[in-house]
Structure 1
Amino acid sequence: FYVIKDAARQLQEDLPWSYYRVLPKLEGGSHSGRPRVFSLISHLADRTDNVLDEQNLWVFTSAFQEVAALQLSELWALPAMMRLVLLQRLSALGAQLSDTLAERDEAERWAQRVADRAAKDPSEVVFELAEMAERFAPLPGSFVVTLTSALRAQGPVATPALEWLERRLTSRHTTLEEVIRRETQRQTHRQASVANAILSLRRAADIDWSTLIESLSVVDRTLQQDPPGIYPRMDFPTRDRYRHVVEDLARYSKATEVGVAERAILMAEMAAGEADAPPVGDGAPAVTPREAVMPLEAHIGYWLVGRGRKALEAEVQYRPPLRWRPVRFGRRRPALTYIGMVSTLFLLLMTGAWVVASGTGALGWRFVLALAAAF
C-alpha cells in the first residue's frame, strides 16, 4: 500500500494539469484524446504484463521513435506516465478482485438456498436453479467454482443441483473441470499482474530518469553533432538548457524540435566552413587545435543562447507569446531597460513629491530638491 500511495503522490507532483494539457494527444483509436506517450506506455505494459523497467522502456521507446520522434516534453513525462498506467491497471485489477469476491459471496448464498429448498422439497430445486440461471447469465467462472465447492459440501442433498450445473455447462460446450481450470489460471494471472505492477512502481523510483531520457532524445543526438565537439563535453544542466531552448523555439514556430536542432547545427557548420564533426571521446583534450581556430559562431550555443539566437529565430519563424516580449527585450537590451526603469521610477517619485510639495509650502519643496539630489 505504501508503494501505491507514494506513486500517487509523485504522480500529482510530476503531472500537473498545465503539463498534461500541452502533451500531444491521439486523435483516434482506443486511446483517443489521451497523450501519445500514455498510449506508448500502455502498449508496453500490455506486452510485458505490467513488467516495466529501464531496459524495455529504452528499447520500446527507441523503436517507436524510428517512426515518430517524441518531443522533449513527452520524454520527460515518461516517469509520470509509467506511474499513471500502472496505477490505473492496479485500480482495474482491484475492481476485478472486488467483483470476484462479490460473486463468491453470492454463490455461497445461492448454494445455501438450493440446499434449504432441497431439504424441504427436492422437486422444487429446479425452480431455485432456474431463478439463479436467469439472474446470472452466463454464469461467471468464479461463481461456478464457488457454487460447486459449496454444493459438494452439502452432501447428497445437493446432487441434483450439481447434475443440473454440469448439464448447463455442457450445453455451452464446456465442462466443470474446464471452468475450474480457466478460473484458476485467471486468478493466477491476476495475482502475477498485481505483483508485476507493484514491482514496476518500485523500479520507477530507482531509474535514473535524467540519463535515460537524454539517451532517448533525438534532439540530443542531433546536438551531439556540434562542429567543435563542445556540446558532448558539457555538463548535464548545460546540455539540458540547450535542449529546452530547442523545445521553446519549436513550440512557438513552424519547425519541429528536431528541425530546430538540425537548423542550429547547419548554421554552426556553415560558420565552421565544414560539415564533419570532430572526434570526441574519453581521451579528447579539453581544447583541440581545431577549436582554437574555429570562430565562436561554429558552436551551437552561439545560435541557441548567444548573439545568433535572433537569426535562428528568424530561420524557424519563431513567434513567442506577447506576454514574453517585454522580458525578451529586457534580456537583449539590459542597459537600456535598467535606465528606463530607473527613469520611470524617478519620474513617479518626483510627481508624487511635487503633489505633496504643492500642499505643504517651502518645506515640501525642500524635500523635492533633496529627493532629486539623491538621484
Structure 2
Amino acid sequence: MRLWRNNGDRVLVVGIFQSLGIGRAVLKNLHRARFRRVAAIHASAKRRPRIEEYGVSAIGGAAAASVVALAIGAFIFWQRGILTDYRPGVLTLLLAAFALAGALSGWILIRSLHQHVDEAWLARCASTILPDETVVMAEVEASETARVLEILRDVEAEAPVTFAFHSPPPFSAESTTRRLREERPSIQRLSENATHLASSTVVSRDAQPRGQSFLRRLREVESALEWANASLTMSAEMHHAFTLSAEWLLDNAYLIREQVTDLRRSLPQKYYGELPLIANGPKAGLPRVYHVASEIVLESGGALEPEIIRKFLVAFQAIAPLDIGELWALPLMLRLQLLECLRALAIQVEQQQSQSEEADFWANRLTTAVRHSSTQLLRMMEQLVERHPEPTAHFASELMARLYDEEAALPLVSGWLERSLRAPLLEVMQQEHRRQAVQQTALADVINSCRLLAQITWPEFFQSISWAESELAADPAGVYARLDFETGDRCRSAVEEIARWSKRSEQEIIDQALALALAAEGEVGRHVGYYLIDAGRPALER
C-alpha cells in the first residue's frame, strides 16, 4: 500500500488494537518519544470513527486565540476610556472583529506549526477500520520505522497487528530497459543478431549526442536501487514474508553498491563525446558501443559469459569493426547495462513486495470483517474494489493465498478477481508463479554476471577480439607481436589520437602505417611502431 502524497522517504506505520485504552496509551508513548505526526482512530460499535491527535487542534487553537483577542480588544477600549463612547451594537461588532481576527490567526498558527498525519490518509484509514478497533499510526522517516514498531509492540496485554506503508518512489518507476530474453541464445542466433545489428547501425562523428550522460544514468540507477533496498529493509523489519528475488537483492546489496561505486569512478564525463555515435534510427545520438552492450546483455538474458561476448563481437566486427576506444569502453558499458537491468528488476521486486503487503492488509481486514458481520464484510469488499479497480496478477495471487481457508470471504474475492482479470484464478496464479521463477532466474543471472565481469582479465580479452591488434600484428618487421602490453597500448593510443584530430578512421591510420613500414628500406623503418610512437610519426601525420 502506498502513501497518496509525495513525502520523500517517509513511512506510515500502523498498529491495530482491540482496546481503546491501550491504543491511547501507545499514542501517548509515541508522542513522548517525540514523534509528532501521530494519530489514533477509534471506531465504536454505533458511532462514526473518531480521530485523536496529540497537541492543540486547529479548532481549539482558534477558540483560544479568539478569547485572547476579545480580551485584548476589551482591554484596549477600557484603557482608552472609550467603552462608553460607542453604542452597544457598534461595540459588539468591534469586539466581534477582534475575536474573529484572533480566531483566524490562531487557526493559521496552529495549522502551520502542528505536524499531523495527512488528512487524506487519515480518511482512508478510517474507511477500513472496524467496530471496536483502534488504529494508531505514525508517519516517520524510513530510518525511524524500527523505533515506532518497538513502541507499538511494547504492549503486554495485547499484541497489535502492524503494517508499514512506504511513500511512492521519488522517480519514475517506468523502465526504458527492454526485457531480458528468457531462453539462452544459440551461437547461431547470437551471430545472426550481431550481424544484423552491425549492418543496420550507421555511425557518424558529426552526430549530436542524445539522451542522458552515462554518469546521470548511473545516478538514476543508484537512486532506484537504494530506494528499493530501503523499502525491502523496512519490510524485513516488519517480518513480512519475502520472495526469493527480494532475498537475492538484500543479500547482494553490498555487491551492487560496490559495482555502482566502482563504475562511477571509472566513467569519465567526456566518454559520451569521444565515442562514435549512432547516426540513424531510434538510437540516433547514442554511443554505438552502449547499444552493442545493451544487445549483448539482452540477447544473453543477463547471463553473460566470456564466450558469448566474444562470439557476438566477432560476428559484429566482421561487418563493422569497433574502434579501439569502443572496445576498451565495452566492459564499462556492459556493467552499466547490467545495473540498468538490475534497476528494472529491483523496482519490480519492490512493487511486488508492496503488493504482497497490501494483500496482507486486505486479508486481515476481510477476515476480521467476517467475524463481525456480513454487513461489515460487504462494506470492506466495497472498499477493496474501490482501492483496487484493476488488481494485478501478483496481488490477486497473494490475496487468494491468504484467504484460502476463509469460506465466507473467498467466494466474494475470487469472483471479483476473475471478473477484473478476465481469466480463471488458477490460470492467473500459475502464470504468476512462472513469471516469478523467470524473474528469480534473471535476477540471479544479472548479479552473477556482475561478479563475472569483475573476474575477466580485460587486457587479454581485448587483444583476443581487437581487429586493430590483429592488423598491427602484421607488422613487416615482426616486432609488434613481441611487444609488451604497455608498449602495444602506446601504439594503439597513437592510432586513436591521430584518427581523432585528423578526422580519419582508425582503419585508415593503421593501413597507412603498415604501408609506410612495407615501403621502408631500413630495418627500423619496417617496424609499424616507428610511425606511431617514434621518429616516423610526422610521415604518418602528413
Tell me the TM-score normalized by structure 2.
0.50
Task: Give 1:41 deviation, angstroms.
Answer: 1.6
User: 2:527 aligned with 1:299, yes or no?
Assistant: yes
Q: Distance in 1 between matches of 2:523 and 2:268?
A: 43
Q: Does 1:161 align with 2:389?
A: no
Partner residue, 1:112: 364
Secondary structure (helix, strand or coil) at the match of 1:139 reads coil
Distance (whole Å) between structure 2 residues aligned to residue 61 and residue 138 of structure 1: 44
Q: CA, structure 1 residues 157+29, in 2 after alignment: closer, same or farther (shift >3 Å)? A: farther
Is 1:9 matched up with 2:237? no
After superposition, the Cα gap between the structure-2 partners of 1:131 and 1:27, relative to the gap in structure 1 and judged at 3 Å, is farther
Aligned to 1:149: 401
Q: Give yes or no for contact 2:289–2:326 (8 Å, CA) kept in 1.
A: yes
Work out the CA distance in 1 between the residues paired with 2:431 and 2:375: 32
What pairs up with 1:1-375 in 2 under 5 angstroms? 1-27=253-279, 31-122=283-374, 128-129=380-381, 131-153=383-405, 155-165=406-416, 167-168=418-419, 172=422, 174-271=423-520, 294-314=522-542
How far is 1:257 from its partner? 0.7
Matched-pair contact (CA < 8 Å) for 2:477–2:526: yes
CA distance in 1, matches of 2:418, 2:529: 78
- AA aligned opposite 1:140: T
Residue 24 of structure 1 deviates from its aligned partner by 2.4
Instruction: Answer yes or no: is the 8 Å Cα contact 1:152–1:158 preserved in 2.
Output: no
The answer (yes or no) to whether the contact 2:289–2:333 under 8 Å persists in 1 is yes
CA distance in 2, matches of 1:163, 1:96: 24
CA distance in 1, matches of 2:349, 2:283: 24
Q: Provide the C-alpha distance between the structure 2 equivalents of 1:130 and 1:260, rounded to a whole number of angstroms.
A: 74
Q: 2:451 corresponds to which letter in structure 1?
A: R
Do the aligned partners of 2:391 and 2:417 also contact (CA within 8 Å) in 1? no
Q: Is the 8 A contact 2:417 2:425 kept in 1?
A: yes
Task: Name the CA distance, whole Å, in 1 between partners of 2:458 and 2:504.
Answer: 27
SS in 1 for 2:286: coil
Question: How far, CA to CA, are the matches of 2:456 and 2:414 in structure 1?
Answer: 56
Partner amino acid for 2:493? Answer: H
CA contact (8 A) 1:24 1:35 kept: yes
Q: Secondary structure at the match of 1:77?
A: helix
* Post-superposition CA distance 1:326-352 (Å, at most 9, x none): xxxxxxxxxxxxxxxxxxxxxxxxxxx
State the distance in 1 between where 2:469 and 2:348 align: 43
Q: Equivalent residue of 2:530, what SS? A: helix
State how far apart, in whole Å, the 2-side matches of 1:182 and 1:163 are.
16
Alpha carbons of 1:165 and 1:85: their partners in 2 closer, same or farther (altered >3 Å)?
same
- Residue 235 of structure 1 aligns to which amino acid in structure 2? D
Q: What's the CA shift string for 1:213-249, capped at 9, x where partnerless? A: 1222221111111112111122221111111100100
- Cα pair 1:119 1:157 within 8 Å, conserved: no
Partner of 1:330: none
Distance 1:59 1:167, change over 3 A: closer
Q: Secondary structure at the match of 1:212?
A: helix
Aligned CA distance change for structure 1 residues 220 and 92 (closer, same or farther; 3 Å): same
User: Residue type matched to 1:164 in 2?
Assistant: G
Match for 1:224: what amino acid? A
Is the strand fraction higher in 1 or 2?
Answer: 2
Q: Is the 8 A contact 2:324 2:496 kept in 1?
A: yes
| Structure 1 residues 69 and 30: alpha-carbon distance in aligned structure 2, compared to 1, 3 A threshold | same
User: Does the Cα contact within 8 Å between 2:400 and 2:414 map onto a contact in 1?
Assistant: no
Pairwise CA distance, 1:28: 5.4
SS at match of 2:270: helix
Distance 1:166 1:138 in 2: 9
2:314 is paired with a residue whose SS is helix
Contact 1:141 1:180 in 2 (8 A): yes
What amino acid maps onto 1:26 in structure 2?
I
> Quick one: structure 1 residues 149 and 226, their matched pair in 2 at CA, closer, same or farther if it must change by over 3 Å?
same
Paired with 2:364 and 2:479, the residues of 1 have a C-alpha distance of: 79
Preserved CA contact (<8 Å) 1:218 1:258: no
Q: Distance in 2 between matches of 1:163 and 1:139?
A: 12
Q: Structure 1: how far apart are the matches of 2:259 and 2:362?
A: 40
User: Normalising by structure 1, what TM-score?
Assistant: 0.71
Q: Determine the C-alpha separation between the residues in 2 that align with 1:193 and 1:167.
A: 29
Cα distance in 2 for partners of 1:128, 1:86 equals 43
Residues 135 and 36 from structure 1, CA distance in 2 versus in 1: closer, same or farther, beyond 3 angstroms? farther
1:137–1:29 Cα change, 3 Å: farther
| AA at the equivalent of 2:459 | S
Identify the structure with the greater helix proportion: 1
Q: Distance in 2 between matches of 1:179 and 1:30?
A: 35
Q: Give the whole-Å Cα distance in 2 for the aligned partners of 1:183 and 1:176.
A: 10
Summarize deviations over 1:144-165 as a string: whole Å, max 9, x none.
0111112223x22113314413
Gaps of 5+ in 1: 273-293, 315-375
Shift of 1:271: 2.4
Cα deviations by residue, 1:78-130 (Å, 9 ceiling, x for unpaired): 22112211122222211111100111111222233334445555367566545
Amino acid at match of 1:56: I
